[in-house]
Amino acid sequence: MTEHVSDTATADAYSWLEGTHDEKALAWVRQHTERTEAELYDDAFRQSVQQIKTVLDAQDRIPMVNKRGEHYYNFWRDSQHRLGLWRRTDWESYLTDEPQWEILLDLDALALAEGREWHFAGSALLRPDNNEPYRRALVRLSPDGGDQVRIREFDLESKTFVQDGFDLPVAKTQASWIDPDTLLVGTASSDQFTTRSTYASTLRKVGRGMDIEAAPIIFEVGKEHVAAFGYYDSTPGYQRIVTTDAIDFYNSKTGVFIDGVHRELQVPTDVSVSLHRQWVLFAPRTDWEHQGQLIPAGALAIASLEVFLDTGAVDQVVFTPDAHTALESLSFTANYLLLTVLHDVASQVRIIDLNAGFAQSEMPLEDRMLSVSVAAVDDEDQAHGDDYWMTITGFTTPTTLLRGEVGKQAVAIKKSPDRFDAQGFEVTQHFATSADGTRVPYFQVADRDLEFDGMNPVLMDGYGGFQHSMTPGYAAAMGTGWLSHRTSDGRKPVYVMTNIRGGGEYGPDWHRAALRENRHRAYEDFAAIAQDLVARGVTTRAHLAATGRSNGGLLMGNMIAGYPQLFGAISCGVPLLDMKRYTQLAAGHSWIAEYGDPDVPEDWKFLRTFSPVHRLSDQHHAADDYPASLIWTTTSDDRVGPSQARIMAAKMMDMGIENVRYHEPESGGHAGSTDNESTAKMLATSYEFLWRQVR
């Protein structure tokens, strides 16, 4: 294939920025980060940081919990505990306004004791014998907020790490308990057992005191596959190892060890499989013809695992999508399957009775502008196995946590107070028409008395990938950092959440519509919403800002390079931007199913059309036609990596585009932050940059 001149030029001219810790690259990073901070970090900015941090640190936030045995576990950060506390309480105490927490692990104290900051990344508790308390846990600790973790054995009774206990070195690692002296481990701690996507290629049974690479391999996948995933299911009566060969992001094979024999479930690789007790669930991404029955894309079918392995029989399709509905999530209680469904991005909750022929009913919900989600509290609790958590939240409605029993009214347990002044705002849903005629929904949060004169500052938010749904939720930091601003003439800003294709708002078909060669549809959808906001008189280009991170950062890059005439300002965070080289960086190879393979000539033809670094060379815009652009990442991002953001910013600067700024703090990983202070600074940097451009 004959390359465009700009393809080679991009690789040659900016390859020096790809060395994450190369001193020349870091000198460039420091220069431009300091410039951005010198311009932006004034008294108004510091006030915004403090306001957002106050919200994040608030002591009356809802402490969300996970129930294990008789305890309710929570991880908490505030102004006194920057790195956080892992803690637990009992139900009676949790119901009070000020629960009495038992501190299990103080991360700030750990940093002082060990001389190194560790960031809590989750835990896995060892199931005890009957009627015994939980005594051991595996604690995941990240050194920099990235995806790599150290996993250490922790004693819940002494509240200390176990001397000479399990201690898995920093890597992209997964681990679960098989028994008190054995773990199931998948780790990318050495190149020999790491896939091209930088994840583990093997699963091993690791005994106490055993070197990981000396442990027996029980499952292995090819290096070109994404990963070998697995876990030990310790549910009484259903103990088993479950394996997943993740071929790519949307194709996989699931297996289960039964009586020491690995049995693979014989379904198409694009059918997602999950196991729970005696049940196996199937969610096909494309229409699945099975034993004379059509199970449509986006549906959910259920079967007995034992029967399916024997005969392949499926009991019933318990959810079938239509043009307006998609399955969002599911959870099992002891006797029911709870489904959260989106209907035009509005929540519904359906109840499937597992003991009555899968009979269905629906929970009554009041306000379609609020998001509702449900999850089992503890399906193994003998007295409360059918209890569920329900969270209700909206753009201007603080989150409420409820607990209920299936078939009975849920009771509010805790409610978050207002974090910003939402008086006078209203939430509405609108539909824009994309370039191919598709109706694309979006939510608008705006003054009830909005003037339709095009003068309102608007912030659009988007993602559009990996079947991720954007749904309403109370974002206190956004409300504080964006909606709390006022223009010089007293106008309130507007916030817009987009539901563009590539997401999961209407199921796998909505996602697939913007895959690979059809990626441009996601960008056309976002542009159509921007144009609809102007056509409706909500705003004009000069007052229109947009933001997105990760895949949303790729979206923003394409807005900069392909639709610069639509926006006054853009914040592009932890982004993919050079689609010729993305598979070579961090976990990029795992996303080929989403975007395409740049090493395949036919794929590169369409990849180039949505590679912002290359699109910059193809456009014929004057330097001052581009929106004010903040491109930012972190040095420690080990999922996307910082080089793509660096290259895009450097190229824009070299093109003479004066209103581009770059920001790259060292820590934070792909999330962009490690604690409440860095989160507040990260958010304020984006909000303040955008506000000052479009107010």
Question: Residue 92: CB partners within 8 Å, gap ≥ 6?
Answer: none
Amino acid (1-letter code) at residue 279: W
The torsion of the CA quartet 685, 686, 690, 695, rounded to 10 degrees, works out to -60
Residue spans of beta strands (DSSP E) within 16-172 = 66-68, 71-78, 81-89, 102-106, 119-125, 136-142, 149-155, 160-161, 167-171
Q: Report, as residue numbers or ranges, the catalytic residues.
A: 550, 670
Contact 405, 351 (CB under 8 A): no
CA 397 – CA 233 distance, rounded (Å): 38
Q: Give the DSSP per-residue string, 244-268.
A: EEE-SSS-EEEEEEETTEEEE--S-
Contact 636, 669 (CB under 8 A): yes
Strands 136-142 and 149-155: antiparallel
Contact 420, 414 (CB under 8 A): no
CA 507 – CA 326 distance, rounded (Å): 5
Residue 215 DSSP label:
S
User: What is the maximum span of the chain, computed from C-alpha positions, in angstroms?
Assistant: 73
From edge to edge, which strands make up the β-sheet containing 227-233? Answer: 227-233, 240-246, 252-258, 261-264
Residue 131 DSSP label:
T
Contact 681, 687 (CB under 8 A): no
Distances in Å between the Cα of 371 and the Cα atoms of 178, 320, 338, 364 are 37, 21, 15, 13
Integer Rg of the chain from CA: 25
End-to-end CA separation in angstroms for the chain: 47
CA 442 – CA 432 distance, rounded (Å): 8
* Residue 263 burial (CB count, 10 A): 15
Contact 558, 627 (CB under 8 A): no
What's the full length of the chain, in residues? 695
